[in-house]
Amino acid sequence: MNKKVTIVGAGMTGSTTAHWLAEREIADIVLVDIVEGMPQGKALDMQEAMPVIGKDVTITGSNDYAATAGSDIIVITAGLPRKPGMSRDDLLAANTAIVGKVVEETIKLSPDAIYIILTNPLDVMTYLAWKKSGLPANRVIGQAGVLDSARMRAFVAMELGVSVENIHCYVLGGHGDSMVPLTQHSNVAGVPLHKTMPQERLDAIVERTRKGGGEIVSLLKQGSAFYAPSAGIAQMAEAILKDKQLIVPAAVYMQGEYGLNGIYFGAPAQLGANGVEKIIEYELSEDELAELQKSAKSVAENIAALGL
């Protein structure tokens, strides 16, 4: 029997996630949304594309959670996206209600699932999903670090004219303007990033990475980024379904790592069949640690505002 991935929220990110996953042929996919007919229509359209790309997976759309029963992975992209001028934190109240309800509905039918959360504000929504689900923390993960690091990798590739495959960047911390792009651990085919370009170009890339989500929001005028975020989810889902033990930055529950406790926060995580198998601790400079602490403070304040 195929593995099963449910995606709740069949909007831009949810449906694009389904698309990336279908191309990987690693699971049957269920798309759920509150908009009537929309998840069914997108699922059928995608199913009709499978003969063309030669992938044997079943893609189902529904407005009813019954279709999600027995999922191996539940992805939550349901929520309101950012509008121009809106910070991710402005979304807190609206998306708290949505994500809380989605977890309540899905956990009953898939008690052994691993959750991947995308809805913003990301670190807070992942914490909320963990609390509401009652699952061990290793089974609830937020997608942010793959995206933030991919943005940085893309900008470095554009700057240097080198294959994206040679570029390794690590962005840790909260998924917001306080995220921490680690220039000392990032490298281009083993050469430390800061040795590949003048400092001011590197500074510009760090800044563009931090504001990467906002750059897309202002270009699109409505809605927020979806190709790169959904590619991040698909990579994480594949790592879990195939037990790859792949190390990627992700929002994970901190239990002493980097001196942080009791919050979801972006750190390098080894992903496998049990979700987060291990959190990797880098040796950081004092400056980097101070930046992480600052980012953690803002995430902790938002988590506290949930009042859970």
Positions touching ligand APR (CB under 6 A) are: 8-14, 33-35, 77-82, 91, 95, 98, 101-102, 118-120, 223-224, 226, 229
Structure tokens at 171: 């962005």
The smaller minimum CB distance to ligand APR, of residues 183 and 224, is found at 224
Least distance CB 300 / ligand APR (angstroms) = 20
Q: How far apart are CA 190 and CA 185, in angstroms?
A: 10
Structure tokens at 255: 């239990």
The smaller minimum CB distance to ligand APR, of residues 229 and 272, is found at 229
Active-site positions read: 175
Least distance CB 36 / ligand APR (angstroms) = 10
Structure tokens at 23: 């191309």
Of 66, 91, 63, 76, nearest to 9 by C-alpha is: 76
Q: Helical H runs in 54-91?
A: none
The smaller minimum CB distance to ligand APR, of residues 220 and 247, is found at 220
Least distance CB 80 / ligand APR (angstroms) = 6
Do 79 and 18 touch, CB atoms closer than 8 A?
A: no
Q: How far apart are CA 196 and CA 90, in angstroms?
A: 38
**Looking only at Cα atoms, what is the longest distance across the chain?**
55
Least distance CB 77 / ligand APR (angstroms) = 4
The smaller minimum CB distance to ligand APR, of residues 80 and 305, is found at 80
